[in-house]
Amino acid sequence: MKYRISATAALFSLAMAATAPTFAEDMTANTVVARVNGVEITLGNLIAARQSLPEQYQSLPDAQLFDGIVNQIVQQELLKQSAGDITDALKYQLANEERVLIAGHALETIANAAVTDEALKEAYDAKFADFEPGREYHAAHILVETEDEAKEIIAALEDGADFGDLAREKSTGPSGPNGGDLGWFGKGMMVAPFEEAVVDMEEGAISEPVQTQFGWHVIKLMETRLAEVPPLEDVQDELTADIQEQAIRAKLDSLESEGNVEMVEGIEPSALRMDDLIAN
């Protein structure tokens, strides 16, 4: 079994001091906070360890966080020193970990640098340059199993029954408890027979029974409107993700085209499972 002392475990298993350390204004990342058999543990080591903690631990009191991280790193260093020569497997794992961390940092740098106010505005303008406002519909429905039931509901509505009350009482659809209200939707968001019926209706009208794969619907069209271009704030997260993805893809394409990558032929895929090659 492999053991790994985590920051989380250390923070809860170690006794914490009550008084926070006092820091001088001229401290640097190289300021030594502990020595383990001559090996220096620096403030930079602590800060990097804190940055990698899950979000819920970032708000712990500084004194608790400081002592927990120091104790964690001291224990890790003691175990590292006692381990002796590392295995081939660990050497390769360390190389992979280093590659992952550096590559991840590079990706984060590329992604963050790509998202500027100008880039967001350009992406927003491009996305909605050809926007043509389509009509949106606000409707409610009552869903039942048979056409006869639907006709009975229509008759009750013609006699003055309240649509919402009937929906709550009769509808088998998930919108029933909400009076059948489906909210706003545009074309393509509903199944074809339902959409076709709604498009041909006038505001305030009640449909004839409409059959879909879900059953029989009695539809009330409450109002319509023309769709508007959403404000930038509403689509900013989507645009940000698109910009970052494009920037990363462009950078990788550039690196791959400019770099010298040689794929060695003839390696059997089954070699991937030859664990004994790095067992020493």
Number of independent structural domains in the chain: 2
pLDDT surpasses 60 at 110: yes
pLDDT surpasses 70 at 196: yes
CB under 8 Å, gap of 24 or more: what pairs does 118-127 form?
Answer: 119/243, 120/232, 120/236, 120/239, 120/240, 120/243, 121/232, 123/239, 123/242, 123/243, 124/232, 124/235, 124/239, 127/235, 127/239
pLDDT per position as a tens digit, 130-151: 888 889 999 999 999 999 999 9
12 confidence band (pLDDT: 50, 70, 90): very low
259 confidence band (pLDDT: 50, 70, 90): very high
pLDDT surpasses 60 at 18: no
pLDDT surpasses 50 at 90: yes
7 confidence band (pLDDT: 50, 70, 90): very low
Is residue 6 one of the residues assigned to a domain?
no
16 confidence band (pLDDT: 50, 70, 90): very low
Given the structure tokens 């059997």, which residue do they identify?
Answer: 268
Rounded distance, CA 68 to CA 103, Å? 29
24 confidence band (pLDDT: 50, 70, 90): low
Is residue 65 one of the residues assigned to a domain?
yes
1 confidence band (pLDDT: 50, 70, 90): very low
Say what the pTM is.
Answer: 0.63
Is residue 105 one of the residues assigned to a domain?
yes
**98 lies in the same domain as 140:** no
Is residue 44 one of the residues assigned to a domain?
yes
**100 lies in the same domain as 47:** yes
Q: What is the mean pLDDT of the chain?
A: 90
Nearest CA-CA partner of 222 in 240, 198, 239: 198
Looking at residue 2, its pLDDT comes to: 47
What residue numbers bound the domain in which 217 lies? 135-226
Is residue 45 one of the residues assigned to a domain?
yes
List beta partners, residue 137: 185, 224
280 confidence band (pLDDT: 50, 70, 90): confident
pLDDT per position as a tens digit, 62-76: 999 999 999 999 999
What would the mean pLDDT of 32-50 be, rounded to a whole number? 95
Is residue 108 one of the residues assigned to a domain?
yes
